[in-house]
Structure 1
Amino acid sequence: MTDFLQQDISVFVKRRPKKLSLTRQRKIIALFTNLFTSGFHLVEIVDFLKRSQLLADSYTSILSRGLMTGKSFAALLSDLQFSDVVVTQVSLAEVHGNLELSLTNIQDYLGNFIKVRKKLVEVATYPVILLGFLLAIMLGLNSYLLPQLEERNGVTRIMDYLPIVFLASVVASLVLVVLLKYWYRKSEKIRAVSLLVRLPFLGRLIQLYLTAYYAREWGNLIGQGLEMPRIIHLMQEQQSALFCSIGTELGLALDKGIAFEEHVKRYPFFKKELSLMIEYGQVKDKLGHELRLYADECWEEFFVRLTASMQLIQPLVFMFVALLIVLIYAAMLLPIYQHMEV
């Protein structure tokens, strides 16, 4: 009993790895892609990664334990805290058999998001630092300079409240983001996404993203000869709540005799062209191929729009910064000019 109590309690605690960053996810996917392409099996890959130390021991231990219990590749990635989007794509790829191509697509998908995030950081870093300095200057003016002025004007009154308004806006924005995430987590996913696509600017991006994502996955599954009942069953088994919900509703619609393209048309978060592409592909008997081509076009448009949106942020922030600088100068110089006129 004494020996038992003296054991390290960490032995009994399974450390769950933190959520992987996009960069880390892409590196791991790239490793698996290269090794699968080289002809390695999953067991051999895990053993190689463990011996080569290309992955941390905490990750290879999770992979080894998962393999011993017979988990699939998608389940292993889920244990490694990959995003639901990646896990779902891998899970479907294990069914339609085109795993290497799917991993390559996932690698490109993550790479594009990393580029966009890097661009956002580059665009926002300098303006954010500048805003911080300006906020400090405004607080200093309100604390030391403006109280010494005998005469107050409209600009000085604006300067009195501007720091408070700015900080309140930042806090309100953060609270709003937290509330939106909580609302989305608790709400029914199809209804929530249908509301989100109505948002200006962001709604269009969400619609493009979902259209590209589902067109590619449906195209891969149909292209491998899977029938719709089997595809619907697979959708209902996925980790993604939205994917599962769409699969459930699609199954009910098909049971009622509603065509695939007709049901897809009812979702506002899909582009209208998606249902037309499904109908066109069915007529040509090349539905899988047509959906994959359409998905590639949607992905390209999505990342072009996302990059363009990122490039708009910096000019808008600089305009706001310029306005603040003008207000600061006006608050300091107008009282001086007023005294000179007197």
Structure 2
Amino acid sequence: MTCRFYREEEVADVLDMATTIEVVDESFRQLGSGGADNVPRRRARAPGFVLHGMHASAEYLGTAGWKMYSTTRIGAKFHVGIYDTDSGQMIALIEADRLGQLRTAASSAVGARYLAKKPVTQVGVFGAGWQAEGQLTAMATEFPLAQAYVYSRDEEKRQAFAERMSEKLKLEVLPVHDPREAVEDLPLVITATTSKHPVFDGNLLAEGALVCAVGANWNFKREIDVITVRRADNWVCDSIEACRGEAGDFVLAEEEGYLDWTKAVSLSDVMAGNSIGRNNQDSIVVYKTVGLALHDVALGTKFLELAGSQPEIGVDLPF
């Protein structure tokens, strides 16, 4: 058994959002039932450089693996390694920028599947970059969206994002000049930015709204303010352990006395019926995702399954 290497464009050609959402849904279920194990991200630093690493095993798939990526001032490089758990052999090395975008967006869509007040036909999006594009695509895949309102501090970027995504998703994507227009009266609000500071006023949230907070995965960053945390009846994490280590939205709120971790629940427990993710239709719910290696491993394994019928893609590595 050899290890096979796959490039970004091959991942993009093989995987789609609908498939990814179902893979991530099942991985959450397995995490809740003991069929998988996830190790939160750790970081090693050097001047101008950070190496990020996270690991998981998916017993239910017979695979395990890691995601490693480096960040510098000029960008990031992502890779996922997949192992066969019977032989211990590394079976794939995958360039994983696209894979990471897909699984991050799918986590929000799965969260919204179980936590959002239905129907969801409108969404507010903060951010106009790569991850925001994935988030909106995932929500349009999961729900019959009619309109999306996008806010970014950069007017040119939000205008370009709206034009691009309107064409791609065949729905009305409106760039807005005031953050409140991406929050007020909306059932679903997504934050997918690099901001270190809250991007909207929590007083603006409608009763029953779900906030999917995606961007902040350092404990000194926050995209949602303490008002949002205080107004939320339910705090849900993709992983409580991971969020306690790096979800600045919650970590900083705890330090300020606005969050009690004993009241936070994991999405996998909500899906298993062991925890409540939404108290009632009027509850404001915050779903915080920092990204789980299990999703990378599960999606990487699915990619290998689908790529198996396309022997022309990928190249063998000499080990």
Q: TM-score scaled by structure 2?
A: 0.31
Larger fraction in helix: 1
Which structure has the greater CA radius of gyration?
1
Q: TM-score scaled by structure 1?
A: 0.29
